[in-house]
């Protein structure tokens, strides 16, 4: 479904994202993947030393373990709003396509801040609404019609893809997200947008 939804582009975005992540990561330090799901993103990591992964759904970890069986990963079942880690523990915290699902985004961001070391990095990638007026209408139609339809035909799950579309439309603009993160104390380094904001990578640092 991801391939169909993004016409395969999500693979390039994920590769680009992982390169950015490892540019900021020192092998000896600890890295946390939040909302790790079935381990799609860390499947692409060049090495997995000191990798921690958290997701509230145990079944997701089971699928991930099958994919990443040769890697030593510290799996944890839990929510971002109540991270079971010590203060200043990780050098890098990552989250791909999970922030949209946080029940309490501000609490989640605060927990991430607490668990990051000073000068540590928080990177996340998330869908959003494009800001170029030329593609706003077609994108809206893509979300409203194409996504639920293809979800029902291919994944036999219209409801989940309708939720996906609604959560993308409801997600705040990059400017609002940046403000939220800065209010928590993060230093905003950069937001990299693809397809005029349909997909964004946010890069933050704990100063």
Ligand X SMILES: C[S@@+](CC[C@H](N)C(=O)[O-])C[C@H]1O[C@@H](n2cnc3c(N)ncnc32)[C@H](O)[C@@H]1O
By the rule CB under 6 A, 155 interacts with ligand X:
no
For the bound state, the minimum distance from the C-beta of residue 134 to ligand X, rounded and expressed in Å, comes to: 28
The stretch among 101-109, 137-145, 182-190, 198-206 that binds ligand X (CB under 6 A) is 101-109
Q: Are 8 and 67 in contact (CB under 8 A)?
A: no
Please choose, out of 16-24, 64-72, 93-101, 191-199, the segment that lies near ligand X by the rule CB under 6 A: 93-101
Structure letter (DSSP) for residue 156: S
CA nearest neighbour of 191 among 181, 182, 179, 204: 204
Q: Which stretch binds ligand X (CB under 6 A): 30-38, 65-73, 179-187, 190-198?
A: 30-38
Cβ-Cβ contacts under 8 Å for 175 (sequence gap 6 or more): none
Question: Does the protein bind ligand X through residue 160 (CB under 6 A)?
Answer: no
By the 10 Å C-beta count (0-12 exposed, 13-18 middle, 19+ buried), 110 is classed as: middle
Q: Which two tokens stand for residue 61?
A: 């970890």
**CA angle centred on 8, ends 3 and 13, rounded to 5°:** 110
Instruction: Choose between 103 and 132: whose C-beta lies nearer to ligand X.
Output: 103
Q: How far apart, in whole angstroms, are the C-alpha atoms of residue 116 and residue 126?
A: 20
Whichever of 35 and 198 has its CB closer to ligand X, that residue is 35
Do residues 33 and 53 make contact, with C-beta atoms less than 8 angstroms apart? yes
Pairing of strands 199-206, 116-127: antiparallel
Q: Which of 6, 56, 166, 195 binds ligand X (CB under 6 A)?
A: 56
Residue 172 found at the interface with ligand X (CB under 6 A)? no
Shortest gap between Cβ of 121 and ligand X (angstroms)? 17
Question: Does the protein bind ligand X through residue 111 (CB under 6 A)?
Answer: no
Residue 166 makes contact with ligand X by CB under 6 A: no
Stretch near ligand X under the rule CB under 6 A, chosen from 22-30, 44-52, 74-82, 147-155: 74-82
Task: State the residues that interact with ligand X by CB under 6 A.
Answer: 34-37, 40-41, 55-57, 60, 79-81, 96-98, 101-103
């Amino acid at each position: 479904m991801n391939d169909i939804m993004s016409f395969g582009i999500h693979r390039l975005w994920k590769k680009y994202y992982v390169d950015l992540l490892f540019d900021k990561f020192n092998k000896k330090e600890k890295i946390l993947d939040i909302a790790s799901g079935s381990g799609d993103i860390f499947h692409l990591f060049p090495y997995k030393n000191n990798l921690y992964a958290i997701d509230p759904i145990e079944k997701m970890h089971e699928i991930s373990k099958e994919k990443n069986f040769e890697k030593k990963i510290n799996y944890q079942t839990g929510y971002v709003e109540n991270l079971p880690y010590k203060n200043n523990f990780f050098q890098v915290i990552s989250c791909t396509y999970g922030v949209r699902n946080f029940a309490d985004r501000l609490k989640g961001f605060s927990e991430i801040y607490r668990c990051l070391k000073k000068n540590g990095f928080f990177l996340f990638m998330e869908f959003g609404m494009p800001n170029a007026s030329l593609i706003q209408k077609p994108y809206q139609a893509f979300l409203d019609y194409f996504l639920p339809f293809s979800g029902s035909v291919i994944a036999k799950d219209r409801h989940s893809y309708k939720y996906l579309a609604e959560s993308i439309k409801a997600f705040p603009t990059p400017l609002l997200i940046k403000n939220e993160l800065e209010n928590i104390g993060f230093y905003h380094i950069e937001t990299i947008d693809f397809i005029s904001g349909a997909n964004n990578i946010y890069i933050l640092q704990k100063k």
